[in-house]
């Protein structure tokens, strides 16, 4: 962040809307992570999984060790803290990245500072020397309540078996059928640019996703996995079928459908499931997705990542900063959603200059990060509909006269429309992917934005969007 930037002070709040919504989901008996506020966050917005710690090590760890003893500092008072943990996750594409879980009530998520590892041997044989922790973080969780928009029902056809004309659901295409379709289409699609959609996965059951071009990865084992990698990965369940089980909104499927439609289906989608069926995304799963995209084992690397998610926090996360920097070195655009009206206070948009959210707020000093919001037109001109910032938000996608976009999964004007910066972001991802077809022309974000179709600068929006750049799409 540049030295001239001074963060405005905003009002304090007794309750955070998305915190409240998560508490309601718990009462409803939904399957949600055991999350707690992080005491070190000056804004009081950051949520993390209780007793979990993400660690980036200087060497692979001995996964046969059932228990590890960690010693570091308590995030609350910097006092010395010791915690016994077990290894619950190892990143396939980088075994130096691990997820650790502490014993009940150990508060392992509060461990910070310089952390030492000691093995707790279960046999008389001495274990090898443990690796050192290069950096660590609590396992942050992202969730946006405004993404709870039910998808349209799967299309139905008239039954012909009994002549009754009864409507029956169309059976979704099987995974094997889709693999055959994608393998057969790959030669025709080989020159199409690739967009990685890091979200809830993809469901091929809808008219606008059933024939979408998908990147075929060759069926070779993914990094250290024994499973073949065909069309992306499910990092939530650690499997090779990135199925969108998000029945509350089909969030990732909608995003993939928008990108494909905008690019007239001349794009290859790489679906990476990093968000679960209830809309929760963890830092560890997202980091594993980044490692996958940066790995040498990927046959073709995308030039664009659609990231319609974010973490509210008053402090930058060093590990997230590291991965954003690695994406810049790999020359990959990170197109990120600014977040939504009602995330923090019901019905109110968020000024990201006050209440910071990441990766959105990396855009000020990382030129490959493009932060996107929704704007809509009025008689007086365009107005911002979702989160904004004259410092961090780079682009407004114009949704028409109201702050919604047409349903992307089906071509049915009677379907309810969708809203949120999540659905503005894939328009920007598609336009960025189109520009990547022109090699060496777009080395800066400003040039990328200015070459988007119908891009204009709305001077009145300069106090809400950097340069006031907008692209009307509906």
pLDDT band at 155 (very low <50, low <70, confident <90, very high): low
Q: Which residue has the higher pLDDT, 300 or 13?
A: 300
Write down all domains in the chain, each with its CATH number in brackets.
17-141 (no CATH), 146-472 (3.40.50.200)
Q: Give the HSE-up count for residue 462: Cα atoms under 13 Å, Cβ half-sphere.
A: 4
**Partners of 77 in beta bridges:** none
Residue 439 has pLDDT above 50, yes or no: no
Give pLDDT, residue 384.
95
Give pLDDT, residue 380.
81
* Cα first-last separation, the chain: 34
Give pLDDT, residue 7.
54
Q: What is the mean pLDDT of residues 12-21?
A: 84
Phi and psi torsions of 94, nearest 5°: -155, 95
Q: What is the mean pLDDT of residues 74-98?
A: 95
Q: What is the mean pLDDT of residues 282-292?
A: 98
Nearest 5 degrees, angle CA 463-CA 467-CA 472? 95
**Partners of 54 in beta bridges:** 99, 137
Give pLDDT, residue 122.
61
Q: What is the mean pLDDT of residues 102-120?
A: 93
pLDDT band at 175 (very low <50, low <70, confident <90, very high): confident
Give pLDDT, residue 468.
84
Task: Output the six-digit token pair for 322.
Answer: 């590291």
Contact criterion met (CB below 8 Å) for 389 and 372? no
Give pLDDT, residue 207.
93
Q: Summarize pLDDT for 303-345 with one digit per residue, the tens.
A: 999 999 999 999 999 999 999 999 999 999 999 999 999 999 9
Give pLDDT, residue 5.
42
Give pLDDT, residue 63.
85
Q: Give the HSE-up count for residue 46: Cα atoms under 13 Å, Cβ half-sphere.
A: 22
Which residues touch 108 (CB under 8 Å, ≥6 apart)? 51, 52, 53, 70, 83, 85, 100, 101, 102
**Partners of 398 in beta bridges:** 375, 472
Sequence-ordered alpha helix ranges (H) in 164-278: 175-189, 251-262
CA distance linking residue 467 with residue 459, whole number of Å: 8
CA distance linking residue 212 with residue 195, whole number of Å: 12
- What's the chain's average pLDDT? 89
CA distances, 226 to each of 64, 136, 229, 411 (Å): 18, 27, 9, 39
**Chain mean position to CA 175:** 23
CA distance linking residue 356 with residue 362, whole number of Å: 10
Q: Summarize pLDDT for 181-206 with one digit per residue, the tens.
A: 999 999 999 999 999 999 999 999 99
Residue 436 has pLDDT above 60, yes or no: yes
Q: Summarize pLDDT for 440-464 with one digit per residue, the tens.
A: 455 678 888 888 888 887 777 989 9
Q: Is the bond preceding 279 in cis, omega lying within 30 degrees of 0?
A: no
Give pLDDT, residue 125.
60
Q: Summarize pLDDT for 30-81 with one digit per residue, the tens.
A: 999 999 999 989 999 999 999 999 999 999 998 888 789 999 999 999 999 9
Q: What is the mean pLDDT of residues 284-300?
A: 94
For residue 284, give the nearest of 274, 293, 294, 296 by alpha carbon: 274
pLDDT band at 1 (very low <50, low <70, confident <90, very high): very low
Q: Which of 145-149, 390-394, 407-411 has the lowest mean pLDDT?
A: 145-149
Give pLDDT, residue 459.
77
Contact criterion met (CB below 8 Å) for 243 and 192? no
Residue 8 has pLDDT above 60, yes or no: no
Q: Which residue has the higher pLDDT, 245 or 222?
A: 245
* Number of Cβ within a 10 Å radius of residue 145: 18
Residue 161 has pLDDT above 60, yes or no: no
């Amino acid at each position: 962040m540049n030295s001239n930037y001074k963060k405005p002070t905003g009002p304090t709040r007794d309750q955070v809307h998305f915190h409240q919504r998560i508490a309601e989901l718990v009462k409803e008996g939904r399957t949600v992570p055991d999350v707690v506020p992080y005491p070190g966050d000056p804004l009081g917005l950051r949520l993390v999984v209780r007793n979990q710690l993400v660690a980036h090590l200087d060497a692979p760890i001995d996964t046969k060790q059932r228990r590890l003893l960690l010693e570091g500092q308590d995030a609350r008072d910097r006092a010395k803290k010791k915690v016994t943990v077990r290894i619950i996750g190892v990143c396939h594409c980088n075994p130096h990245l691990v997820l650790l879980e502490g014993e009940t009530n150990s508060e392992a998520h509060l461990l910070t500072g310089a952390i030492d590892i000691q093995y707790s041997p279960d046999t008389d044989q001495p274990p090898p020397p443990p690796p050192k922790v290069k950096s660590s973080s609590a396992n942050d969780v992202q969730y946006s309540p405004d993404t709870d928009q039910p998808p349209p029902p799967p299309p139905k056809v008239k039954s012909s078996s009994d002549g009754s004309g009864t409507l029956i659901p169309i059976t979704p295409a099987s995974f094997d059928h889709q693999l055959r379709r994608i393998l057969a289409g790959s030669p025709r699609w080989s020159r199409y640019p690739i967009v990685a959609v890091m979200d809830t996965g993809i469901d091929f059951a809808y008219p606008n996703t059933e024939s979408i071009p998908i990147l075929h990865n060759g069926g070779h084992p993914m990094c250290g996995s024994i499973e073949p990698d065909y069309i992306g990965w499910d990092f939530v369940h650690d499997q090779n079928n990135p199925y969108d089980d998000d029945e509350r909104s089909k969030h990732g499927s909608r995003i993939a459908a928008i990108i494909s439609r905008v690019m007239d289906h001349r794009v290859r989608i790489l679906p990476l499931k990093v968000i679960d069926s209830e809309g929760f995304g963890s830092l560890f799963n997202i980091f594993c997705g980044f490692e996958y995209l940066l790995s040498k084992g990927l046959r073709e690397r995308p030039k664009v990542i659609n990231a319609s998610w974010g973490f509210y926090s008053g402090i930058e996360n060093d590990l997230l900063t590291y991965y954003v920097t690695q994406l810049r070195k790999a020359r990959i655009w990170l197109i990120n959603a600014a977040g939504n009206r009602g995330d923090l206070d019901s019905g109110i948009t968020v000024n990201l200059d006050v209440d910071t959210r990441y990766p959105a707020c990396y855009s000020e000093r990382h030129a490959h990060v493009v932060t996107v919001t929704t704007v809509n037109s009025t008689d007086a001109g365009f107005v911002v509909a979702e989160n904004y910032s004259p410092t961090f938000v780079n682009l407004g996608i114009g949704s028409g006269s109201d702050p919604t976009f047409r349903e992307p999964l089906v071509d049915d004007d009677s379907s309810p429309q969708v809203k949120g910066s999540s659905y503005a972001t894939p328009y920007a991802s598609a336009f960025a992917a189109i520009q990547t077809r022109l090699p060496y022309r777009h080395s800066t974000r400003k040039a990328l934005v200015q070459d988007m179709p119908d891009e204009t600068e709305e001077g009145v929006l300069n106090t809400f969007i950097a340069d006031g750049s907008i692209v009307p799409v509906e």
